[in-house]
Amino acid sequence: MKIVVIGGTGLIGSKTVAILRERGHEVVAASSKSGIDIITGEGLKEAMAGTATVIDLANSPSFENKAVLEFFETAGRNLLAAESAAGVRHHVALSIVNTDRTPENGYFRAKVAQEKLIEASGIPYTIIRATQFMEFISAIADAGAVGNTVKLSPGLFQPIAAEEVSALVADIALEPPRNGIVDIAGPDRAPLDEIVTRYLKAVGDPRQVVRDPDALYWGGRVEQLSLVPLGDARLGRIDLNEWLRRARAKG
């Protein structure tokens, strides 16, 4: 089966491409470097020829509110139009858990706009909403840092390793379209401030985490269940300790 992975050279995309190729599929790792540009539309028609499934893992180069919205809307329209013309039978997109419950966050609003385009496209689809990746815990700490302290919400957090995101994306892409949403998450759920405290201690970062219910998460307020699945979810098996062990082993 021919599968096109948009953003196929990124953190999740490169791993997803490798998994699908190992399973015997013809996979196109699409990116602007390979002559496939979802903003200009260049190369999309050619890439979609004979394609059964498209996996959209593209991310905006800018997180500024207007720019990120324009990116996902423009990319979504171009990609879905090309898929429709080619008769693609399954559109898979990676999104964020509860992205529709944090409207003050510009990035989340842009992902909601992307999801609405998919739902209205008429193409059979599956939207995969993931919790935050473990690979970004350090960036979360940096975003909440004020001097030697890190202010973070006690809202629940359930991070997932990128390699398990890729594996789950590959699995779901090979299943029949859901015409709905699948949530994926890591195996452990705990307050955000506690998980970041564990991470900083493990990597030898001396900064102290301060629990602050008013601390923002990428510009949005965090409620108790904002960052975790509200219902059933497919769970990874790699917890934070195991992820840290593997990260150390890789050097």
- Give the residue-averaged pLDDT of 194-223: 93
- pLDDT at residue 221 in the model: 85
pLDDT digits over 55-86, tens only? 999 999 888 999 999 999 999 999 999 999 99
pTM of the full structure: 0.95
DSSP string, 50-63: T-SEEEE----S--
Question: What pLDDT score does 32 carry?
Answer: 87
Residue 251, pLDDT score? 63
Helix (H, G, I), strand (E, B) or coil at 32: helix
**pLDDT at 218 > cutoff 70:** yes
Nearest to 112 by CA among 130, 95, 91, 128: 95
- pLDDT tens-digit readout, 28-63: 999 988 899 999 999 999 999 999 999 999 999 888
pLDDT score for 250: 77
Structure tokens at 141: 């700490």
Say whether pLDDT at 107 is over 80: yes
